[in-house]
Structures are given as structure tokens and as C-alpha cells.
Structure 1
Amino acid sequence: MQIRFSPIKEKIFIALISSVCISSGYVPQKISIFAYPLQQQANPSYQRRGPASVILSLTSGLEQLKIPFNVNPTTEAETGDVVIVLSDVNRLGQAISLKKQHKIKLLLAGPNLMIRPNEYGHIATAPEIDAYFTPSLWVKVAYAEDEPSMTSRLVIWPAGVDENYWKPLAPKDPKKNRAVLVYQKTENHSVVNAVHGLLQKHGFSAIDLGYGNYSIEQYKKALEKCLFAVCIGNSESQGLAFAEAWAMNVPTLVYDLRKYAASGKTFTINSFCPYLTQKTGVDWRNFDELEGWLKAMPLCFDEFAPRAWVLKNMTDAVCAQKIIDLIARF
């Protein structure tokens, strides 16, 4: 990826660095962020999934905040005295080395480096890391359980969404709209079939989307058509697809067993939708609960305000500002 520079303001310089070797010639008093390189795409702003969504969210937010940055500088001279490693454990090792050599003053890491902090030789516990980002509360708890020495340095930081792209064209009418998105991130067909049966019973029509089998444009069009979404999935560290739905003013009814085991650990707490609130939707754990909400949604739809919640809490700019505020506190 080519280096991209935005105009310098107040000599703040933010860089996103990926799998590129850092050479000599370090210039201090600048801010840098490290991350995996992004694949070139026709519309990269709207092909956001996984770790790429975190990089794109942060860069978009920084642009909106008019904070200058560059992406993936290739020399140590372009690396600032504050480094944030979003992803790529190899780059984290490089940043730790720079911190040991007193070539950077502040090192922040996460949230897309590893599932558990005891991986990769416990590199996440390195004392050179000043703060480590986790995408939600339950992940923070899990990291603190695995590596208690990290507890005071763990910071919850979610990525944001592009509220201008994920914007509804028209208000939704609960009296007329009977379309419901059934968002599936599971192979449990019995649950999906039961959901379909309940929707049909109560006069709703299902729009089905399966995780990994749709484009961003298809997802947006489905959200535009539906009144609300029923989400059937698994554990989520953040769940950006939910935030995209909320930005489209679509509340979510999330199947949440609150149980999760992975990488040899049964997690003490868990969530299938960590940022679900009274304004963005509800969770359900059995079909009786779901049926109750299907009956209630046309009556209480106006009590939800998912887009307003996103505008206040989870846009690209809002989430980027949280990082800038954190840096300012050191």
C-alpha cells in the first residue's frame, strides 16, 4: 500500500503501519498506528468486514476529525513517538522493540491481534504496552482473567460505522411494514426454521441473509426494506453488522445464549450482541420470548431509536475521538 499523507495540522502525525519493515532514520514527536495492509477494492469504504473494518473506521474517523495521518509508512523516520498497533503480531513486536529503545513514548495495542492474550508467547502482556484495546466488556473480562497483569491497561474501544452510507431513505411504518430480516450466522437450521414459523404465524414476511453469502449492498437493501431484524448467530466480540443495522434505524431481536467456549476456554461472561441497548433492540433466549416480542414490535417499535444511538456512540468519528482522548490522557 502506498503511503498516504493528509495535510499537517499542529504537527500531529498519525501513521498506520502494516507488514512493512521499519528502517533507520526515526523522527520523534509524531503519532503512528500500525495495522495489517488493506486489500485494494473498488469501494473500500463499503467492503468493511473483520479487521479491515477497524482500520477503515479509524482512518475515516480521523479524516472527519481533520487529524492528519498516513497509512503504512515504510521507514522509521516516518514513525511517530506514539504507536498504536491495531493488528499484526509481528508489527507489535517491532513496536515493543522501538519502545525498549526509547524511540517511541507511547504504545497502544489491539483489538485485532489475538483471541486470547496468552497466545504468541504472552506478547500482549509486555510492559512496554501502555494500553491494550478490547472491543467490548466481555472480552476485557476474558483478557483480565487470562492475564491479570494486563487488567489496569485494558481499555474498551469499539470501531465505528459510516453513518452516511448506512442511512435509511425513508421512515419505517410499523403499521404497514411486515418485512423482517432474518440474519443468520449459524448452521442451526432448526432454530432458523422455528423463527420462520413464528414470523409466518404472526403475519411477517422473512428476508433471509446468511453470513458471508451477501454483499454490503445486498445487506443495505434488505435493511431498507425491513421493519426490524431477527438475528441468529453466535458470540460476537463487537458485532459491527448490528451497528450497521442500527444506523439504518433497524432494531435487532438477537438470539443470545450468553455462552461461549473457544480456544480452550469457557468464558465467564459472553454476549452475542455486546452493544445491545434498550434503544437498539432486545435479546431472546427461547422461542416463547421471541414470540412475545414479535407480538409486541408493531406496538412498541417507536420506543426504539437505534440510529440516534449510533450517531451518539458508534460512528467512525465518535470512535476515533475516543482514541484521541485516550492519547491525550497520557
Structure 2
Amino acid sequence: MVESFIKGASFFDNVGLLVNPPKRELVGTIVYIPGSWRALRDALPLRRAGIIKKLIAGPLICFEHVYEHDGIIGDEAIDSYIVASEWVKNEYTAEASEHGLSIRNMRVCPAGVDHLRWSPVDMKEDKGSLHKVMVYVKGDGIKMLDKTLKVFAHGGFETGVLKAGSHVPTDYKNMLEWCDFAVVLGGSETQGLALTQAWSMNRPTLVYESESVIARGRDAAPYITPQTGMKWHDVEELRECLNVLHNCTPRIWVLENQTNEIVFSKFLEIASKL
């Protein structure tokens, strides 16, 4: 998140970016704190005193619930709170209401992706030969792994499996380079940055979304579109999804919607309206 923000800011010559500056340099600035509740706690009195011009926080101040850290994200000194997707905004709004909190100016703004780093050697633009599939498994998605592998075994696909938490980013990028498309087995995602990275590599994704994710009002792939792939809910839908892969142009979608530069421009728009 922080790396994406800094890289995004580098595209704007008119934006002066100070990273962890001393207090004396904060006068009249817009301060953004993405993920440290302690840094946010220390910034609040500076905003109340008018030393800081505007204070923006999120999306990583709270780990699970809005009332964490004594409900700090509901402090009136925060001018805007950023969340990664629409379903998170809805969930935060509902939970805040239940606990008597009011989160000011909650805005949706995802992290961007480094489209230069996440750029494939082979764009795999020949959609007539999609036979190598990476299956990316995360959390409860392991429950669907055997059924998923059977679908691809019966279809004669070459399959590679990568489990979250057991690899480094280089492994993921190498597997994306190898495959023609990806299947993702997981739970809900506040954004799904790994999906965006796959799209930037021009790899369509077919994302499993369980009944429990839907029942909780959450989303397994908040930013997926017909350009980038599809969500599926059972193996029959997975088989059907294979027929749409040839229509996907995921890297084009990323270049038009979710690069670091584009996302930082969205942040600037949020800040300008406070």
C-alpha cells in the first residue's frame, strides 16, 4: 500500500511528498496515514490544533472491526477515511452505526499496481491455446482444491498450484509468467491485489466465491470485470467460465483503471474535495 502510494506520487511533479517528516515540516500539509493507528493517534492533536491542514487515514488502521483502538477511525479530527472497496465501506458503515461511531467522509480508493514490474515477457495473446492454469489457494479456498483440480484434469489442462503463505512474490510472478490464466480459491478480499497483479501480467482470473462470502455481504473479487475474468460458485460454473477466457483483456483494464499513477490521481481527487 505505502509502496504503491509513493510510486504513484512520483508521476506528479506538482506534488511534494514527505515520508515520515519531522513535526516542524507538517505545518499546512495534508497528512496521510494508511496503516499505523499509533501514528494516527499522534497526528490527531496536530489536526485539532490546525497545524495539519487535512488528515486522511486508512485503509489499514483497523484489522477487523471499526471499534479497534478505542474507535480511533471515528475521531472527528479525521477529514476522510479510505477503504479499499465498496463492500468494505458498507460493512464499516453498518458496524460503525451499531457501535455509535461516525466515520467522516469514507471514500473508496484501492491500491495501485506497478504495471512495469508486473509486466509479462509473454503477453499470451493467443487465446486459442489456453491450457496452462495456475491455481492460487488461500485460506478456506483449500476446501475447493480437489474439485477444482479434477475439472482441469478431465479437461487435459496443465496445472500448477501455489498456496498463499508458502511463497515469495517472485514465485507468484514466475507462476503467472508460466500460466495462461489463473484460478483463485480463497475467501473475501477487501481489494484483491494479487488479482490485480495477475491482470497486469495479462492473465485472466476465475475466482471462486463461496456462499458464506455472499451471505456476509462480502466479495471475493471486488474489482473483477468481464475484461479481467469471472467469479464462479460451483464446478459447473467453473467449466462455463472457461468459455469466456478468450474475451478477456486484463492488462488493458489495469492500464486504464488501476496503475499506481491512476490510483494516486484518485487519491488527489479525494483530497481536493475535503
Q: Are the counterparts in 1 of residues 123 and 201 from structure 2 also a CA contact under 8 Å?
A: no
How far is the alpha carbon of 1:65 from its aligned partner?
2.1
What is the rounded CA distance, in whole Å, between the counterparts of 1:205 and 1:80 in structure 2?
A: 58
Q: Are the counterparts in 2 of residues 143 and 150 from structure 1 also a CA contact under 8 Å?
A: no
What is the rounded CA distance, in whole Å, between the counterparts of 1:154 and 1:220 in structure 2?
A: 33
Q: Aligned pair 1:211/2:184, yes or no?
A: no
The residue type paired with residue 157 of structure 1 is C
Cα RMSD after superposing both structures? 1.8
How far is the alpha carbon of 1:201 from its aligned partner?
0.6
Instruction: Tell me the equivalent position of 2:86.
Output: 137
How far is the alpha carbon of 1:156 from its aligned partner?
0.3
The residue type paired with residue 272 of structure 2 is A
Q: Which of 147, 156, 172 matches 2:108? A: 156
Instruction: Tell me the equivalent position of 2:225.
Output: 277
What is the rounded CA distance, in whole Å, between the counterparts of 1:302 and 1:231 in structure 2?
A: 18
How far is the alpha carbon of 1:188 from its aligned partner?
5.2
Unpaired runs of 5+ residues, structure 1, are 1-53
- Superposed CA offset, 1:130-161 (max 9, x none): 11001000100011101245366110010101
Q: Aligned pair 1:313/2:265, yes or no?
A: no
CA shift in 2, pair 1:290/1:208, >3 Å:
same
Aligned positions of 1:1-330 closer than 5 A:
54-66=1-13, 67-73=15-21, 75-81=22-28, 82-114=30-62, 115-148=64-97, 150=102, 153-172=105-124, 173-186=126-139, 189-257=142-210, 259-260=212-213, 267=216, 269-294=217-242, 296=243, 300-330=244-274
CA shift in 2, pair 1:288/1:57, >3 Å:
same
- Compare 158-167 and 76-85 and name the one that shifted more: 76-85
How far is the alpha carbon of 1:80 from its aligned partner?
4.2
**Local SS of the residue matching 1:182:** strand
How far is the alpha carbon of 1:322 from its aligned partner?
1.0
How far is the alpha carbon of 1:99 from its aligned partner?
1.2
What is the rounded CA distance, in whole Å, between the counterparts of 1:108 and 1:228 in structure 2?
A: 37
How far is the alpha carbon of 1:278 from its aligned partner?
1.1
**Local SS of the residue matching 1:324:** helix
Unpaired runs of 5+ residues, structure 2, are none
What is the rounded CA distance, in whole Å, between the counterparts of 2:89 and 2:247 in structure 1?
A: 30
Give me the identity figure in percent. 31
**Local SS of the residue matching 2:59:** strand
Normalising by structure 1, we get a TM-score of 0.77
The residue type paired with residue 2 of structure 2 is I
How far is the alpha carbon of 1:175 from its aligned partner?
2.7
- Superposed CA offset, 1:36-73 (max 9, x none): xxxxxxxxxxxxxxxxxx00000000012233312211
What is the rounded CA distance, in whole Å, between the counterparts of 2:161 and 2:147 in structure 1?
A: 14
Aligned residues: 267
CA shift in 2, pair 1:77/1:190, >3 Å:
closer
**Local SS of the residue matching 2:195:** helix
